[in-house]
Amino acid sequence: MTKLVLLNNVDHKALRVITRRAAAYGDALMAAPTFPAEFRTIQGCYPIVFQKRADTGQFQPFALLGFEEGENLFLGKDGWEAHYIPMSVERLPFFIGGQRSSEPGGAPKRVIHIDLDHPRVSSSDGERLFREFGGTTDYLDRMNMLLDQLDAGMSATPAFIEALLAHELLESFVLDVTLKDGSENRLAGFYTINEERLRALDGTAIGALHAQNCLEPLYMVIASMAHLRDLIDRRNRRR
């Protein structure tokens, strides 16, 4: 359950947010949504894959964290075992929303909401959101910055996906893995870049992808797939 409310310094003056990383705080995630502008950093730690949403049929890129629901192989006893946490995870329990403009016909103002039912929200533990005598803390300022970047990145994602589909660059893949204990495991339901089709594109198509700022993210996705081996190794170490 979620209880989203508009964050304000009156009702939520005493709220804190726990920043430790653990399953108890909602970090047991198989995958985290990401976006093209984040791919360069994401590919340093995680495989980037695509999944088609069942409700809309639209593709969404994800940082892959495990092989099954509820499995985050980057969570250890000392927290998150990677130098970078995806923005869609780090910003929790905050969300960005729209507030109606006071000006007739004005664009909605973007504002911060908080999920009061999120396990990170506390009244006694964690980072303060507001200073004692007014103003936001450095922590909340950072969350606001992350939300802005996340909102802009997610808004730009459909154009990137459209470019991939126009050139038929997405293909489904299945990964069969035999672990050290002999168990057979299969990862399915995800898509990646069709490298053969990408290599076959002519100069005009490559130029168009570059002009649309799609070429670099494409290669970041391809480079990220080397981390599938890291995921397998992490799973083996836990068996």
The per-residue pLDDT for range 109-132, each reduced to its tens digit, is 789 999 999 999 999 999 999 998
Instruction: Kindly report the pTM of this predicted structure.
Output: 0.92
| Residue % of the chain over a pLDDT of 70 | 95
Q: Is the pLDDT of residue 101 over 60?
A: no
When divided into structural domains, the chain yields a total of 1
pLDDT score for 102? 59
pLDDT score for 210? 96
Q: Which domain holds residue 163?
A: 4-238
The per-residue pLDDT for range 176-235, each reduced to its tens digit, is 888 888 788 888 999 999 999 999 999 999 999 999 999 999 999 999 999 999 999 999
The mean pLDDT value for 155-184 works out to 92
pLDDT score for 51? 96
How far from chain centre, in Å, is Cα 137? Answer: 24
